[in-house]
Amino acid sequence: MEVIITNDYDSLSKMAAQYVIDLLNRKPNAVLGLATGSTPVGLYRELVARYREHKIDFAQVTTFNLDEYVGLSSDHPQSYSHFMREHLFEHINIPEQAIHVPNGTTTNHEAFCQWYEGEIQRLGGIDVQILGIGGDGHIAFNEPGSSLGSRTRLKTLMEQTVVDNARFFDDPGDVPRYAITMGVGTILEAHHCLLVASGENKAEPIAQAIEGPITSLVTASALQLHRDVTVVLDEAAASQLQLRDYYRWVHVNKPSPGDLDWHRKAETQAEKSRRSTAEEL
Ligand code: PGA
């Protein structure tokens, strides 16, 4: 797991966006796993800005969102579908048919969830899955207690999540109690995971997820089992990490290509000393 600690939300957003930009430049038909929530908004803003500067192109990209509220149609202002259009899709050249957000109004949840999983696999899997983390350590809507092998399914939200989300609804009675969410197992199959977290209220769940035991009580901790995870934090979100100085050290000393080529370096050194001995003679 690579942990990158940035100064503030703005640098975090730029750094996380750079991962996506590099991916799209390497693989223009990449499959992106997208997340909603306030944290990735800055990352999406960066992507839109780079798109406007013609630095990236979404014409061949496919996206899969992590989750959606059950009962909200895609045009409901609080639906995740609406959120994604507002923050990203409306501003870039992604074809409508390449966008996948779970259908919150399906009448057959099971069939829909199976289809969603099948589509991800049919397209070769998710190249990079963007993730936020909830105050209780959840990823997507995998609330505490979710199986770490879970797949896309209908999930009953925790009371605390319902309370946290109530601020977005005029009538607290309208806050959805269920969601369709990718499972922890689905997320772990993404080729690369990019977790972003900002602010002091994320310091504890981040410390638990990165340095705590792997437990279904903190579903983000399952990312410790994934072999290619990048976590981009600001100072506040990193403040409870025991090894934060080490993570900074690792980042600053990240080897550039060739740095670890000890064998070649040793050969060059031997060649040099052979030459100077020959010159001396
Ligand atoms: P946030 O949500 O980015 O709005 O804090 C994260 C989450 O609950 O997954």
- The answer to whether residue 238 scores a pLDDT higher than 80 is yes
- Which tens digits make up the pLDDT trace of 65-90? 999 999 998 999 999 999 999 999 99
pLDDT at 257: 73
Question: Can you tell me which atom of ligand 1 is nearest the CA of 197?
Answer: 3
Q: Rounded to whole angstroms, how far apart are CA atoms 43 and 13?
A: 4
Instruction: Provide the pLDDT confidence category of residue 218 given band limits of 50, 70 and 90.
Output: very high
Q: Rounded to whole angstroms, how far apart are CA atoms 43 and 253?
A: 25
134 vs 274 pLDDT, higher one: 134
Cα 50 to ligand 1 centre (Å): 24
Alpha helices in 27-97 (DSSP H): 41-52, 80-87
Torsion of CA 267, 272, 275, 279, to 10 degrees: -160
pLDDT at 110: 96
The number of CA neighbours under 13 Å toward the Cβ of 210 is: 28
Cα 26 to ligand 1 centre (Å): 29
- The answer to whether residue 51 scores a pLDDT higher than 90 is yes
- Which tens digits make up the pLDDT trace of 16-47? 999 999 999 999 999 999 999 999 999 999 99
255 vs 67 pLDDT, higher one: 67
- Which tens digits make up the pLDDT trace of 101-119? 999 999 999 999 999 999 9
pLDDT at 59: 98
pLDDT at 271: 77
Q: Coil, strand or helix: which one is 254?
A: coil
- Which tens digits make up the pLDDT trace of 189-205? 999 999 999 999 999 99
CA nearest neighbour of 205 among 194, 217, 187, 193: 217
Question: Can you tell me which atom of ligand 1 is nearest the CA of 39?
Answer: 3
- Which tens digits make up the pLDDT trace of 129-188? 999 999 999 999 999 999 999 999 999 998 888 888 888 888 877 889 999 999 999 999
Q: Rounded to whole angstroms, how far apart are CA atoms 162 and 7?
A: 31
Pocket of ligand 1, beta carbon within 6 A: 37-39, 132-134
- Which positions are catalytic? 67, 136, 138, 143
Averaged pLDDT for residues 1-13: 97
